[in-house]
Amino acid sequence: MHPFSYRQASDEQAAIGAVGQPGAMFLAGGTTLIDLMKLDVQTPSQLIDITPLPLTKITELPGGGVSIGAMVRNSDLAHSELIMTRYPVLSEALLSGASPQLRNMATTGGNLLQRTRCYYFRDVTTPCNKREPGSGCSAIDGYHRIHAVLGTSRHCIATHPSDMCVALTALDAVILARGAGGERRIPINDFYLVPGDHPERENVLAPGELITAVELPAMPFAARSHYRKVRDRASYAFALASAAVALDIQGGAIHDARVALGGVGTKPWRSHDAEKALIGKAPGPDAYRAAAEAALRGAKPHKDNAFKVELAKRTLVRTLTMTAQKTV
């Protein structure tokens, strides 16, 4: 691990000021960052520990939404009564991710910035455009069973690894970020960038900006929501494909729907096309399969990950089926 200096920030303003210096990075739960520092993938010269910041509350917003402080631990968020009853898809997504120890460490803000598990990104002896712009992509011509089929470019096919963010994407979460110029609100669907020509840019955060909170808008029908994750092991593995779904079923028809996919996209993948395919239809296999076909229509599989296209479709069909069967 490269040498670095370490400081704790006790208020937001000081944290933002300190991270403005060259080579400085925020340290939250550390579950991604310390791991990548041990691999020399990330080499900050200064760590600004933001875990003492008092951003640890989950609070109800006027109008029925919920605000989640950036330092709320994943395990606390997953087990929050408010989240379990109003947004079960988020609780289920969190509990499907990582291990209990990691969930006790990881934070909401940190999870939003989790880095890809692409093995070439994590291996500094191989070229990677995300790690070293212009060096090339080892995955496209390499072994890419775990890689993305949606949102890829000729420069990068790395998958976004988070489960939490897939649920947040289905729920239209808003990210609150504060920088030297004040606070701004970023809808999660505008937060992540597809790789394009700049895979090293993963989100729209400006240098020095601190994520302070995530807000979930009021969405009463999200009480009928579900997260399903398909992976190589029964537990403690990243998704090969996952789906976050919320369904508003009224009078035997789907009145509204939210669909997001994980494990298959270069960012948490919202599918408005799948939602359109569902709205107005009777819940059932025909509507679900049509939604799945719509969701994967733009997929660009490579030789080792072609199986993900059908896997993601079946995962979405199964998730929609189970969501519709939920009693709320």
Partner 1 sequence: MTLTRRDFIAATLATAFALTLGARAAQAEPEAAKIGAKPMATAPASAGGDTMPITLNVNGAAHDLAIDPRATLLDALRERIGMTGSKKGCDHGQCGACTVLADGRRVLSCLSLAVAQQGKAITTIEGLAQGETLHPMQQAFLSHDGFQCGYCTPGQIMSAVGLLTEPVGPEDADVRENMSGNICRCGAYPNIVAAIQDVRKANTNAPV
Interface with partner 1 by CB under 8 A: which residues?
A: 1-11, 13-15, 17-18, 27, 30-31, 34-35, 38, 45-49, 51-52, 75, 79, 98-102, 104-105, 234-236
Task: Give the C-alpha distances (Å, rounded to integers) separating 307 from 164, 245, 301, 302, 310.
Answer: 24, 22, 8, 9, 6
The letter for the amino acid at 158 is A
Rounded to a whole number of angstroms, the minimum distance from the CB of residue 48 to partner 1 is: 8
Residue closer to partner 1 (CB basis): 47 or 245? 47
Number of other residues whose CB lies within 10 A of the CB of residue 18: 18
Residue 142, burial from CB neighbour count under 10 angstroms (0-12, 13-18, 19+): middle
Closest among 254, 36, 30 to 128, alpha carbons compared: 36
Q: Is the CB of 210 or the CB of 295 nearer to partner 1?
A: 210
Q: Of 32 and 225, which has the nearer Cβ to partner 1?
A: 32
Minimum CB distance to partner 1 smaller for 5 or for 135: 5
Indicate the Cα dihedral angle 30, 111, 63, 176, nearest 10°. Answer: 80
Minimum Å gap between C-beta 233 and partner 1 is 8
Q: Which two tokens stand for residue 163?
A: 């489960």
Cβ 37 to partner 1 shortest distance, Å = 8
Q: How far is the CB of 124 from partner 1 (least distance, A)?
A: 14
DSSP state letter for 288: H
- Given the complex with partner 1, which of 197 and 232 has the nearer CB atom? 232
Q: Which is nearer to partner 1, 6 or 307 (CB)?
A: 6
Q: In a 10 Å sphere around its CB, with 0-12 CB exposed, 13-18 middle and 19+ buried, how is residue 42 labelled?
A: middle
Distance CA 80, CA 58 (A): 8
Q: Provide the minimum distance between the beta carbon of 103 and partner 1 in the complex, in angstroms, as a whole number.
A: 9
